Chain A
Amino acid sequence: GAGVSQSPSNKVTEKGKDVELRCDPISGHTALYWYRQSLGQGLEFLIYFQGNSAPDKSGLPSDRFSAERTGGSVSTLTIQRTQQEDSAVYLCASSLGGEAFFGQGTRLTVV
């Protein structure tokens, strides 16, 4: 499809394990964002990629979180040594400068 695609849609992992979340943005979009939404909370900014510029990592909650964007397209968000407080819906969005278009999210549950 032409929209933002995220995989997996659901992920259950054991505490202490590493997880990788994938985002395929809309083709040609230069900006890519990761947000997360914990239960009953708003959208929490994690990281922002814009073209070839250095990413804005100011929202990453700890050094267990990292993200990369390969070839200016696909992005992977990695969470190492997952904790229960990492449980949330992780949302990816892409943009050409105006509005951002979101994927359906990855629901991460750490047990």
Chain B
Amino acid sequence: DQQVKQNSPSLSVQEGRISILNCDYTNSMFDYFLWYKKYPAEGPTFLISISSIKDKNEDGRFTVFLNKSAKHLSLHIVPSQPGDSAVYFCAAKVNFNKFYFGSGTKLNVKP
């Protein structure tokens, strides 16, 4: 059951511009959402999270937006840098339970 979906397998953005990565979910019980970044041959690294009681969380160049009515999550990276090129996974969970991951979006930031 694919409860978390990332419908864009890849995204290409010019350096300095905004990158917007999207994620949709089906389970309205999810109360915690996260974004992870993964480089080849490494484990995913935590990037940013948001609780379901909020609709926005910002950390430097990274902002996560949550639209609960649309069951939609997005990650904005501004400005994008070549070092941001990686696969980005969104994840969600209900309280103290397992994480459900999307299939990932490969971001390529062109110099």
Contacts and interface: CB of A to CB of B under 8 A. Distances in A.
Question: Secondary structure of the B side of the interface?
Answer: loop
Given A35-B101, A41-B103, A42-B104, A100 B46 contact: yes
A50 B89 contact: no
B100 interface: yes
Given A33-B99, A35-B101, A42-B101, A102 B32 contact: no
A93 B98 CA distance: 11
A91 to B, nearest CB: 6
A100 B96 contact: no
A81 B29 CA distance: 38
B97 A48 contact: yes
Contacts, number: 50
A47 to B, nearest CB: 9
B98 A104 contact: no
B59 interface: no
The 7 A-B pairs at the shortest CB distance, nearest first, are namely A102-B43, A42-B103, A43-B101, A48-B98, A99-B46, A104-B43, A102-B44
17 contacts: A4-B43, A31-B96, A33-B98, A33-B99, A35-B101, A42-B103, A42-B104, A43-B44, A43-B104, A45-B101, A48-B97, A56-B98, A91-B43, A93-B43, A99-B34, A102-B43, A104-B42
Interface of A: 4, 31, 33, 35, 41-43, 45, 48, 50, 56, 59, 91, 93, 97-105
